[in-house]
């Protein structure tokens, strides 16, 4: 359960103040699937960063599972981020020296979870994605689609509330894109809130709801499918 | 995060960039290694000099003519014109209870010849007591006979090298040699024993002191060696010598007494200072290695900006990232220190093979100090890059800017 209320974010660029987000309200519940579209500089990434607790708004409140995140200290925000938020990036951001399995394991390693449990959870995360035979390969030995699916496994290994995907198919060909989107949708069908920022209208239309942004504001929210 | 995971993460990231890691290890190893090798050399020099001094004899005091105004161990450089030390002065010292033995020494240089072979060597005039006082050993025959030192017998004891030069492998004992224009019978040969404080004890001839004095036409002595009865009686013996000589020289303090302890402790101090100096110079290379580690860690932080952003996105707090980077820095400096210690021991071993007589050993304090300083600099210089990594803004870091 996610609730944004009057979120604003300003940046100082030279003498000018840029309003990247302007009084944004948003409410997301379990199982929601939203795409966010809009031109460059419309505030999509800023919204994603604020939802991911990577950035702080200048004004407004943000509740995540009934936690008022705007009042949290940095250390606690890191903990919320670790347990409730998953990220998928356009550039995959896999650690190049670690194997696929170790990359998936990384959030649990950082959280200090017992190694035995980590191995089991990595196994059960890679299996449905068909990546078990790739577990001991390093990222440079994987295809783009495989890399992104490893990144998705990593993003969901802590069983987060929300998965934030920033152009997840931006670096992929058509076939791999479909694989990745289907993987994301599979996870969404199990209750995960999925938020995809994309330029690709085809992918945008697949979401249950589409958000259009312009100049730091949500100008339109439409339902795509019944 | 578990400690073993932090360790493994650090290990994986330093082994991920091998050439950079080896360069840093090399710098650290050179720093640690040079501190240890140089202190070992300094310490070796100190021990070498100390052992040279103790070879002189135990509980030794040296009486020199002339009075130095400064106190301490140094021999007089400037002084009043002294009264000569005579054989009778030396004999007078033997009457003191704190003194065990006295060996007067007269020195000169003269040609020594046997048949057609001639050689210019130092002639040492002394008495029977020189043997125990200087802890000399004979390989053949007897030393100078005991008896009245004023009576000079025509006998000589040869150093091992001199014997070899004059007689080759032939029998020397009982042969008559010529020193200057006098004839001496060879009664003994000294055992070979390297250099002793610059005097090659193998290339000399020892003759009775009275014979030497008449040979060089002098009544004065070069110095008097005095052996105290025990270590505790050295100060007492020193006082007694000054008192006796002053009485005999009309109340003038015109001799200098050097105790072996004073010489030893002076040299000890000098060499300790020397060791500390070279260690200090070598420590600069350790500091340089530390700065290099900082430099490379800073590069690592900027190269791994997006990885740090990722760690933050995965919920790693700044403190944890600080720990991760500090762990990397300390792993680097620790392994560098270990390699350096290995290099130092290897280097010392090599030097020992080259110079077997030089006593080399790494003092334990140098070992501990070098390793501690290495790890300390690694950590110290690792803090800045680690803090920079921890303070990175995740959004900017993820964008790879």
Contact (CB<8Å) A93/B310: yes
Please report residues of B whose CB lies closer than 8 A to that of A93.
306-307, 309-310, 313, 398
Number of folded domains that form chain B: 2
User: Which chain B residues contact residue A154 at CB under 8 A?
Assistant: 314
Q: Is residue B206 part of a domain?
A: yes
B39 and B123 part of one domain: no
pLDDT more than 90, % of chain A: 76
Residue B235 lies in a domain: yes
CB A193 within 8 A of CB A32: yes
Q: What is the pLDDT of residues A204-214, one digit of tens each?
A: 889 999 999 99
Instruction: Verify that B39 and B153 share a domain, yes or no.
Output: no
User: Same structural domain for residues B246 and B314?
Assistant: no
Q: Distance of CA A209 to CAs A84, A85, A144, B109, Å?
A: 22, 20, 27, 114
Q: Are residues B247 and B289 in the same domain?
A: no
Q: List A residues 144-163 in contact with B (Cβ-Cβ < 8 A).
A: 154, 158
Which of B207, B224, B253 terminates a domain? The answer is: B253
Do the chains contact at A110 and B314, CB–CB below 8 Å? Answer: yes
d(CA A34, CA A94): 25
Are residues B161 and B193 both part of a single domain? yes
Residues in chain B with CB shorter than 8 Å from the CB of A91 are 306, 400
Structural domain for B336, as ranges = 3-52+265-398
* Residue range B48-105, pLDDT digits in tens: 877 777 766 778 888 888 775 544 555 555 544 567 888 888 989 888 888 999 999 9
The model scores a pTM over 0.80: no
Query: Within an 8 Å CB–CB cutoff, is residue A74 touching chain B?
Result: yes
Nearest-CA residue of chain B relative to A110? Answer: B1
Residue B172 lies in a domain: yes
Q: Are residues B348 and B291 in the same domain?
A: yes
- Tell me the angle at which helices B18-55 and B3-15 cross, rounded to the nearest 10 degrees: 100
Are B156 and B249 members of one domain?
yes
Are B176 and B42 in the same domain?
no
For range A2-19, the mean pLDDT: 90
Q: For residue A7, what pLDDT is reported?
A: 93
Measured CA to CA, the distance from residue B105 to residue B223 in angstroms comes to: 5
pLDDT value at residue B300: 80
* Contact check, Cβ <8 Å, A158/B315: yes
Mark whether B38 and B170 lie in a shared domain.
no
Whether B144 and B240 map to the same domain: the answer is: yes
Question: Does the predicted interface ipTM exceed a cut of 0.90?
Answer: yes
How far CA B300 is from CA of A123, B307, B380, in Å, comes to 32, 10, 16
Q: Does the residue B75 lie in any domain?
A: no
Per-residue pLDDT band at A187 (split at 50, 70, 90): very high
Mean pLDDT of chain B: 85
A26-74 pLDDT, tens per residue?
999 999 999 999 998 898 989 999 999 999 999 999 999 989 998 899 8
Asked whether residue B328 is assigned to any structural domain, the reply reads yes
Instruction: Determine the Cα–Cα distance for residues B275 and B44; give it in Å rounded to an integer.
Output: 9
Domain presence at residue B323: yes
**Vertex B331, ends B330 and B336: CA angle to 5°?**
95
Going along chain A from its start, the domains and CATH numbers come out as 31-55+74-223 (3.40.50.300)
End position of a domain, from candidates B219, B253, B287: B253
User: To the nearest 10°, the Cα dihedral for A145, A149, A152, A154?
Assistant: -120
Nearest to B13 among A82, A97, A109 (CB): A97
Report the residue of B314, B322, B390 to disrupt the A interface, i.e. the one with the largest count of A CBs within 10 Å: B314
pLDDT tens string, chain B, 401 residues long: the values are: 888 999 999 888 888 888 888 888 888 888 888 888 888 888 888 888 777 777 667 788 888 887 755 445 555 555 445 678 888 889 898 888 889 999 999 999 999 999 888 999 999 999 999 888 888 888 889 999 988 888 888 999 999 889 988 998 889 899 999 998 899 999 999 988 755 545 677 889 999 999 999 999 988 898 899 998 887 888 888 889 988 988 888 877 788 888 877 777 888 888 888 888 888 888 887 788 778 878 877 888 888 888 899 999 999 999 999 999 888 888 888 898 899 999 999 988 898 888 887 778 788 887 888 888 888 888 888 888 888 888 888 888 888 65
Average pLDDT score, chain A: 91
The C-alpha of B380 sits at a distance from chain A's nearest C-alpha, in angstroms, of 24
Q: What is the mean pLDDT of residues A169-179?
A: 90
Q: Which 90-129 residues of chain A touch chain B by CB within 8 A?
A: 91, 93, 95-98, 106-107, 109-112, 115
Check residue B74 and give its pLDDT: 52
Question: Which pLDDT score is estimated for A98?
Answer: 92
Q: What are A78-120's pLDDT values in tens digits?
A: 999 999 999 999 999 999 999 999 999 999 999 999 999 999 9
- The residue behind tokens 């990247």 is A20
Nearest Cβ partner for A49 among B307, B395, B400: B395
The pLDDT of residue B76: 52
Across the range A148-166, mean pLDDT stands at: 94
Please state, in angstroms and rounded to a whole number, the distance separating the CA atoms of residues B323 and B316.
11
> What pLDDT sits at residue A164?
95
In a domain, B67, yes or no: no
Check CB contact under 8 Å for A109 and B5: yes
Out of B253, B278, B310, pick the residue that ends a domain. B253
Q: What sign does the CA torsion over B88, B93, B95, B101 have? A: negative
Q: Tell me the residues of B at the A interface, defined by beta carbons under 8 Å apart.
A: 1-2, 5, 9, 12-13, 15-16, 306-307, 309-320, 394-395, 398, 400
Parallel, antiparallel, or unpaired: how do β-strands B155-158 and B182-190 relate?
Answer: parallel
Residues B282 and B246 grouped into a single domain: no
Same domain, B227 and B302: no
Question: What is d(CA A204, CA A195) in angstroms, rounded to the nearest whole number?
Answer: 10
In a domain, B194, yes or no: yes
């Amino acid at each position: 359960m996610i609730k944004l209320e009057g979120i604003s974010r300003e940046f100082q660029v030279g003498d000018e103040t840029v309003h990247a987000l302007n009084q944004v309200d948003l409410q997301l519940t379990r199982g929601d699937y939203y795409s966010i579209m809009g031109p460059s500089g419309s505030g999509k990434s800023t919204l994603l960063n604020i939802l991911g607790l990577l950035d702080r708004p200048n004004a407004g409140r943000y509740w995540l599972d009934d936690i008022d995140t705007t009042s949290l200290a940095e250390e606690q925000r890191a903990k919320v981020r670790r347990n409730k938020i998953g990220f998928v990036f356009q550039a995959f951001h896999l650690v190049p020296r670690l194997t696929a399995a170790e990359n998936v394991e990384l959030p649990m390693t950082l959280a200090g979870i017992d190694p035995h449990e980590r191995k089991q959870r990595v196994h059960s995360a890679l299996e449905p994605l068909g990546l078990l035979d790739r577990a001991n390969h390093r990222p440079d030995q994987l295809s783009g689609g495989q890399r992104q699916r490893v990144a998705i496994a990593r993003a969901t290994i802590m069983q987060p509330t929300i998965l934030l995907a920033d152009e997840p198919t931006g670096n992929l060909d058509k076939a791999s894109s479909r694989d990745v989107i289907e993987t994301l949708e599979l996870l969404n069908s199990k209750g995960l809130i999925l938020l995809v920022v994309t330029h690709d209208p085809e992918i945008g239309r697949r979401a249950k709801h589409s958000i259009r942004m312009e100049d730091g504001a949500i100008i339109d929210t439409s339902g795509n499918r019944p | 995060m578990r400690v073993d995971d932090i360790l493994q993460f650090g290990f994986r990231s330093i082994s991920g960039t091998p050439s950079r890691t080896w360069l840093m290890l090399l710098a650290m190893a050179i720093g640690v290694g040079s501190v240890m090798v140089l202190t070992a050399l300094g310490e070796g020099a100190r021990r070498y000099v100390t052992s040279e001094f103790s070879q002189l004899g135990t509980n030794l005091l040296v009486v020199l003519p002339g009075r130095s105004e400064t106190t301490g161990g140094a021999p007089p450089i400037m002084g009043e014109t002294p009264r000569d030390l005579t054989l009778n002065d030396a004999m007078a010292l033997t009457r003191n209870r704190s003194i065990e033995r006295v060996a007067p020494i007269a020195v000169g240089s003269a040609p020594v010849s046997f048949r057609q072979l001639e050689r210019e060597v130092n002639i040492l005039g002394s008495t029977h007591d020189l043997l125990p006082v200087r802890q000399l050993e004979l390989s053949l025959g007897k030393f100078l006979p005991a008896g009245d030192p004023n009576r000079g017998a025509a006998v000589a004891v040869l150093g091992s090298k001199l014997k070899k030069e004059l007689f080759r492998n032939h029998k020397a004992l009982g042969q008559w040699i010529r020193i200057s224009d006098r004839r001496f019978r060879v009664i003994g040969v000294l055992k070979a024993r390297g250099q002793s404080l610059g005097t090659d004890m193998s290339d000399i001839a020892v003759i009775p002191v009275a014979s030497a004095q008449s040979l060089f036409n002098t009544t004065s002595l070069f110095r008097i060696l005095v052996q105290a009865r025990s270590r505790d009686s050295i100060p007492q013996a020193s006082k007694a010598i000054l008192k006796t000589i002053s009485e005999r020289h009309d109340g003038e303090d015109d001799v200098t007494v050097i105790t072996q302890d004073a010489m030893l402790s002076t040299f000890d101090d000098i060499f300790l200072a020397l060791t500390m100096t070279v260690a200090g110079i070598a420590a600069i290379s350790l500091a340089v290695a530390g700065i290099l580690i900082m430099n490379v860690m800073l590069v690592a932080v900027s190269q791994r900006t997006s990885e740090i952003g990722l760690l933050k996105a995965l919920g790693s707090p700044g403190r944890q990232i600080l720990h991760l980077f500090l762990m990397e820095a300390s792993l680097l400096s620790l392994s560098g220190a270990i390699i350096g210690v290995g290099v130092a021991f290897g280097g010392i071993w090599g030097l020992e093979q080259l110079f077997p007589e030089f006593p080399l050993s790494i003092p334990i304090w140098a070992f501990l100090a070098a390793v501690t300083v290495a790890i300390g600099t690694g950590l110290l210089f690792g803090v800045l890059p680690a803090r920079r990594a921890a303070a990175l803004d995740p959004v900017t870091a993820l964008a790879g800017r």
